[in-house]
A and B are shown apart, each in its own frame.
Chain A
């Protein structure tokens, strides 16, 4: 490896212990044996369906909880070993999260100015004129008009504008890595691309690294150089986005790709009650749920992990 990746996961695993008020406690394995890495200024998309553990991965990276096994390395340093206050503050500053719901992520009782001033005050100790200038600067970076937006409350902005404010907030802190958990899934299709475009520019112009979590493999392809496909807590296939899409190896990746809406292909009513697709998906899911085997490199940088016994499935 030529240079050290910004973020590295090594055999990361997370098990949740659920203790319901009634009934027996049970264990849920949300992440199993995940190894991934992202280099500075690149984007890694983590693609998977609901419940595949992709959000767990994002939260583990932002230290919202600790891992059960394995480690997360940020610039080569194990994040669970960051004990001193200054070190964990620096990490919290460098890694920011953008959430799915732009309505819930902003405090409805404060103006946009408040949301952007606080990180600048707390992390950069700015005040007075410098502060006002910096606030304008970050808003301009996310292509919002400062005169229009600053004195408004979150409910006065549209979903897309709010998501831009969230990105501005991450910029204001001085983020190096942004963990974006489905940032566009609650937005209208017609503005999705403009927010993705903004993230793309943040990546190329400022060298911000993205961990982009999504269920839409089409948007993953738009933003990220690398894609990792997750299912049932395991990464089943990863590699350059283009190769993963052009030459999918794992049956689950193929299912994800076939489900992307394609205007050229019409739905037809089949005699089996439309279950053929669902049935196929269920089979693939059952297959992918089993512990994955060792990674096999199909092309340079493009890996796939089939289940243990059968190396060339589907």
Chain B
């Protein structure tokens, strides 16, 4: 199989007091090696549910009721728990929307790096220190900041740290769930440009989730547009920009105030 990720007929249900709610209604998509796949759609359309299901991070009341997820030749849904634990982060890692919440506020950055490196590779303290410094250098943060606590960093720096952590084990796929939504435009641009350069260097694939179509079309190779749990349009970026086929994609474009279009 040439594709890195292959999702077929994925359906995710939520058990609620009022019965089953189907958040993701049987979707198929694939991501190639080194490809940036964009997933666009408004709040509540199921984008993040897909992101969580890909790593099997969904928790009850969410259940995957149908479909298959194959990443790099391995069936994620059939994986035993001990294998899953090793597989998460080393094959697929994730950058969450708010970096504030994905870092532990009461331990230093180094402890968080060390914890992750120790769990997955059994690295000792000195080794982990060296690796963490190397990773921070990759995202342009001076290594002495390793002994700082998350609150001592700015929002953009925290997002960089989370990105460095996601890179730590050389994953094949990084899921980015609205990685820059909480940042202002200048910092957003700085970080995305850096992700692009890192991708060229390490060759990972990206599943890029956002509701900002303009930003996505600068970044992604292909874009899937989601509406109410279904993918309504998948096309190469240029296609989505030039002639969006589905009415909802056009609506998404119109909903944005843009420079030039008054």
Q: Chain A interface (Cβ within 8 Å of chain B)?
A: 49-50, 158-159, 188-194, 196, 215-219, 221-222, 245, 255-270, 272-278, 281
Q: Check B252 against A190 for contact (C-beta < 8 Å).
A: yes
Interface flags, B198-241, vs A, CB<8A=1, else 0: 11110000000001111101110000000000000000000001
Could you pull out 18 A-B pairs where Cβ atoms are within 8 angstroms?
A: A188-B211, A189-B211, A190-B211, A192-B255, A218-B259, A245-B259, A261-B214, A261-B215, A262-B218, A262-B259, A263-B213, A263-B218, A267-B196, A269-B196, A273-B201, A274-B194, A278-B190, A278-B193
For A218, A256, A272, A276, the residue with the greatest tally of chain B CB atoms inside 10 Å of its CB is A218
Q: Which residues of B contact A265 (CB under 8 A)?
A: 218
Give complex CA distance A86, B219 in Å. Answer: 55
Interface SS of chain B: helix
Q: Check B256 against A259 for contact (C-beta < 8 Å).
A: no
Known: A189-B256, A190-B42. A281 touches B184 (CB 8 A): no
Q: Which residues of A contact B188 (CB under 8 A)?
A: 259
Give complex CA distance A174, B193 in Å. Answer: 46
Task: Say how far A11's CB is from chain B's closest CB, in angstroms.
Answer: 27
Q: Chain B interface (Cβ within 8 Å of chain A)?
A: 42-43, 138, 140, 154-155, 183-190, 192-201, 211-215, 217-219, 241, 251-252, 254-259, 262
Give complex CA distance A258, B193 in Å. Answer: 13
Known: A191-B255, A255-B186, A274-B194. A221 touches B212 (CB 8 A): no
For A259, A261, A262, A278, the residue with the greatest tally of chain B CB atoms inside 10 Å of its CB is A261
Extra pairs beyond A159-B43, A189-B42, A255-B186 (17, CB < 8 Å)? A49-B185, A50-B187, A189-B256, A193-B256, A194-B255, A218-B259, A219-B257, A221-B259, A222-B262, A261-B214, A263-B213, A263-B218, A267-B219, A269-B196, A270-B197, A273-B198, A281-B186
Q: Which residues of A contact B212 (CB under 8 A)?
A: 189, 261
Q: Which residues of B contact A262 (CB under 8 A)?
A: 214, 218, 259
Q: Which residues of B contact A263 (CB under 8 A)?
A: 213-214, 217-218, 241
Interface SS of chain A: helix
Known: A218-B257, A256-B186, A262-B259. A277 touches B214 (CB 8 A): no
Q: Check B190 against A257 for contact (C-beta < 8 Å).
A: no
Give complex CA distance A269, B204 in Å. Answer: 13
Q: Which of B187, B189, B197, B258 contacts A269 (CB 8 A)?
A: B197
Q: Check A260 against B185 for contact (C-beta < 8 Å).
A: yes
Q: Check A274 against B196 for contact (C-beta < 8 Å).
A: yes
Q: Which residues of A contact B214 (CB under 8 A)?
A: 261-263
Task: Say how far A1's CB is from chain B's closest CB, in angstroms.
Answer: 27
Q: Check A193 against B218 for contact (C-beta < 8 Å).
A: no
Task: Say how far A54's CB is from chain B's closest CB, in angstroms.
Answer: 11
Q: Check A215 against B43 for contact (C-beta < 8 Å).
A: no
Q: Which residues of B contact A194 (CB under 8 A)?
A: 255
Q: Check B185 against A278 for contact (C-beta < 8 Å).
A: no
Q: Which of A190, A219, A245 contacts B251 (CB 8 A)?
A: A190
Q: Check A49 against B257 for contact (C-beta < 8 Å).
A: no
Known: A263-B214, A268-B196, A274-B194. A189 touches B259 (CB 8 A): no
Q: Which residues of B contact A277 (CB under 8 A)?
A: 189-190, 193
A280 to chain B: closest residue by CB: B190
Q: Which residues of B contact A196 (CB under 8 A)?
A: 257
Q: Check B184 against A188 for contact (C-beta < 8 Å).
A: no
For A264, A269, A276, A281, the residue with the greatest tally of chain B CB atoms inside 10 Å of its CB is A269
Give complex CA distance A299, B217 in Å. Answer: 35
Q: Check B211 against A260 for contact (C-beta < 8 Å).
A: no
Task: Say how far B32's CB is from chain A's closest CB, in angstroms.
Answer: 17
